[in-house]
Amino acid sequence: MPSALAELNQWVDDVARHVRCDRVHWCDGSEDEARLLEARMLESGELLRLNPESHPGCVLHRSDPDDVARVEHLTFVCTREEADAGPNNHWMDPVAAHAKMDALFAGAMQGRTLYVVPYCMGPIDSPLARCGVELTDSPYVVANMRLMTRMGSAALARIEREGRFVRGLHSTGELDPERRFIMHFPEELTIKSYGSGYGGNALLGKKCHALRIASHQARQEGWLAEHMLIVGVENPRGQTHYIAAAFPSACGKTNLAMLIPPDGYARDGWKVWTVGDDICWMSPGEDGRLWAINPEAGYFGVAPGTSGRTNPNAMAMLQRDAIFTNVAVDADGRPWWEGLDGEPALDWQGRPIAEGRPAAHPNARFTVSARQCPTLSPQVEEPRGVPISAIVFGGRRPSLMPLVFEARDWAHGVLVGASMGSETTAAAAGDVGVMRRDPMAMKPFCGYHFGDYWAHWLSFDRPGAKLPRIFHVNWFRRDADGDFLWPGFGDNMRVLEWILRRVDGEVGVVETPIGGLPRVDDLDMHGLAMDASTLETLLAVDLDGWRREIDDIGEYLDGFAPRVPPRLEAERRRIREALDAA
């Protein structure tokens, strides 16, 4: 039986012949290699050097204007049986999909270098980590993968030990939107991406591997691959609880993961530790708890909206050795986007600033190593991960959803996650501001049928399990004038404190048909200028609105029949009956 490295070498040779590349470069992840690739990209104009005094080591990449976001309508899950992909995914027959992609890749890398990028998702020695190899013709992708994964020689050594890896093949092609496809073959642990250089479509370790392929692996192997941040909250007694939280893209995940507590909390000794800002892999431990790792080694964050006011920790880590994509620049060559002080000079396409169009693209990004995060948790490389005390779901809802409520039990929590809704953002191509269901924030990322996915979640509720409590939050409630009712950002600490006091059994709840809400006196509002009526609105339960909501949820779940777990529909009916009784 051939070794994993023999299989890898054979695959690389086969691909190199098919794409007719000029040369093959095996990436070792070294500093020397990174500097050489950067120099070549600066020379070619693929990267631009930013102000070396204010932002040493920082560079700017400008995408093709037609290649600036994930393309969900061109992203496919290719399982042998269409039903296994589910209505939540676009499906293509694997044989047809391979044929389509192989035709696109034929001769696609003439005049280019084929880079072989071995990488590990997760701490290199973690039993929950998984390895992959991306073959790409984009040095920009290589530079990003070096920051986002454990890339290079150590990953290659683990692949040799384990004998398995996810195969990812990528080419920017001609960047033609009509010849752009991202194909996933979960049963083969294979990804093929063509025609895009945007991170979510091209950094195959990220959404493609760490969510779409990994979610399929996780179901087979008994763990969870989730679109969640992981944050540690340390109380004044020195105890740290870890929270996993799911929010759709561009809804404040990075801000929450790097939250700075309000002054009063900081004086009292509260601390926040960042484990991860986007992806969470969880597995049951011997003690019955869910233990989690962040499979990524860096942050690929949304720049607009990130500022000294909203996320000082992110701004601190972006002062050096970062890759900026589609941001504007000011007259001194410093990165700029909406939300920062100062004035831009050139927009994200390198054009003079013009009234009526954004300077930075709304989905402009930064890529930076997690090692530069001021609040990085000392547990981030712990092989077994961190124990999860609470799971939080949240979307961008301008009305109906209270500031926070707790699910009654695990089944209710799974329904809360399965029915989560949010306004769409600029992270995906299409309309912005449209309310859609986004279960567990996994609508674009679950690699199989949602009905089976929810059943997998429910399967963790078994004897001996010590499962996290589940909560739902909504930072985005608005008043009649369209203004946010809750200040958000650092003040979200007040909600996290209540959640952790619930975990520790220190406070009770107001029981309602939709779940347990805080008693007003149990939320620490000290130092927050908010009148009682506003807080009352934030914690109100609109019974008529919730009856419509729970009926809408029923119609949504019906779209995944007959694979919706009966326990989930029974939970929905229980809530509907409680609402009627109220």
- The pLDDT score that the predictor gives to residue 424 is 65
Compute φ and ψ for 546, nearest 5 degrees. -70, -30
- The response to whether 164 counts as a known ligand-binding position is no
- The response to whether 89 counts as a known ligand-binding position is no
Q: Is 332's pLDDT higher than 90? A: yes
Residue pLDDT, tens place only, 232-256: 999 999 999 999 999 987 688 999 9
Does 30 share its domain with 116? yes
Amino acid at 259: L
- The response to whether 200 counts as a known ligand-binding position is yes
Q: What percent of the chain has pLDDT over 90?
A: 95
Does 150 share its domain with 113? yes
CA 540, 543, 544, 550 torsion: positive or negative? positive
Please count the CA atoms within 13 angstroms of the CA of 7 that sit on its side-chain side.
15
Q: Which residues on adjacent β-strands are paired with residue 298?
A: 369
Q: Is 436's pLDDT higher than 70? A: yes
- The response to whether 254 counts as a known ligand-binding position is yes
Does 353 share its domain with 408? no
Residue pLDDT, tens place only, 528-565: 999 999 999 999 999 999 999 999 999 999 999 999 99
- Residue ending a domain, among 315, 337, 372, is 372
- The response to whether 252 counts as a known ligand-binding position is yes
Asked if residues 514 and 546 have their Cβ atoms less than 8 Å apart, the reply is: yes
- The response to whether 491 counts as a known ligand-binding position is yes
Residue pLDDT, tens place only, 511-532: 999 999 999 999 999 999 999 9
Asked if residues 445 and 437 have their Cβ atoms less than 8 Å apart, the reply is: no
> Which structural domain, as residue segments, surrounds residue 451?
226-297+378-581
Does 419 share its domain with 429? yes
- The pLDDT score that the predictor gives to residue 520 is 93
Bridge-based pairing state of the strands 298-302 and 365-369 = antiparallel
With respect to residue 52, please indicate whether it lies within any of the assigned structural domains. Answer: no
Query: What does the alpha-carbon distance between residue 392 and residue 405 come to, in Å, rounded to a whole number?
Result: 10
Query: What does the alpha-carbon distance between residue 306 and residue 277 come to, in Å, rounded to a whole number?
Result: 14
Q: Is 428's pLDDT higher than 70? A: no
CATH number of the domain bearing residue 96: 3.40.449.10
Does 286 share its domain with 392? yes
Closest CA to 492 of 256, 332, 287: 256
* SS3 state at 503: helix
Residue pLDDT, tens place only, 13-34: 999 999 999 999 999 999 999 9
Asked if residues 324 and 368 have their Cβ atoms less than 8 Å apart, the reply is: no
Which of 287-291, 308-312, 451-455 bottoms out in mean pLDDT, i.e. has the lowest? 308-312
Question: pLDDT grade, residue 417 (50/70/90)?
Answer: very high
- The response to whether 489 counts as a known ligand-binding position is yes
CATH number of the domain bearing residue 343: 2.170.8.10
DSSP 37: H
- The response to whether 88 counts as a known ligand-binding position is no
Which of 60-64, 67-71, 83-87, 106-110 bottoms out in mean pLDDT, i.e. has the lowest? 67-71
- Residue ending a domain, among 222, 238, 269, is 222
Does 400 share its domain with 263? yes
Does 481 share its domain with 449? yes
CATH number of the domain bearing residue 478: 3.90.228.20
- The pLDDT score that the predictor gives to residue 2 is 73
Query: What does the alpha-carbon distance between residue 90 and residue 445 come to, in Å, rounded to a whole number?
Result: 11
- The response to whether 515 counts as a known ligand-binding position is no
With respect to residue 75, please indicate whether it lies within any of the assigned structural domains. Answer: yes
Q: Is 422's pLDDT higher than 90? A: no
With respect to residue 489, please indicate whether it lies within any of the assigned structural domains. Answer: yes
- The response to whether 409 counts as a known ligand-binding position is no
Residue pLDDT, tens place only, 147-190: 999 999 999 999 999 999 999 999 999 999 999 999 999 999 99
- The response to whether 250 counts as a known ligand-binding position is yes
Does 452 share its domain with 508? yes
With respect to residue 11, please indicate whether it lies within any of the assigned structural domains. Answer: yes
Does 243 share its domain with 146? no
Q: Is 580's pLDDT higher than 70? A: yes
With respect to residue 421, please indicate whether it lies within any of the assigned structural domains. Answer: yes
- Residue ending a domain, among 196, 222, 248, is 222
With respect to residue 471, please indicate whether it lies within any of the assigned structural domains. Answer: yes
Query: What does the alpha-carbon distance between residue 239 and residue 163 come to, in Å, rounded to a whole number?
Result: 40
Two tokens, residue 19? 């794409």
Does 361 share its domain with 307? yes
Whole-model pTM: value is 0.96
Two tokens, residue 80? 């042998």
Q: Is 470's pLDDT higher than 80? A: yes
- The response to whether 155 counts as a known ligand-binding position is no
Q: Is 431's pLDDT higher than 80? A: no
Does 383 share its domain with 486? yes
- The pLDDT score that the predictor gives to residue 248 is 87
With respect to residue 56, please indicate whether it lies within any of the assigned structural domains. Answer: no
Does 21 share its domain with 151? yes
Residue pLDDT, tens place only, 160-169: 999 999 999 9
- The response to whether 494 counts as a known ligand-binding position is no
Query: What does the alpha-carbon distance between residue 91 and residue 83 come to, in Å, rounded to a whole number?
Result: 9
- The response to whether 198 counts as a known ligand-binding position is yes
Question: pLDDT grade, residue 269 (50/70/90)?
Answer: very high
- The pLDDT score that the predictor gives to residue 426 is 53
With respect to residue 289, please indicate whether it lies within any of the assigned structural domains. Answer: yes
- The response to whether 206 counts as a known ligand-binding position is no
Q: How many domains does the chain have?
A: 3
> Could you list the active site residues?
251
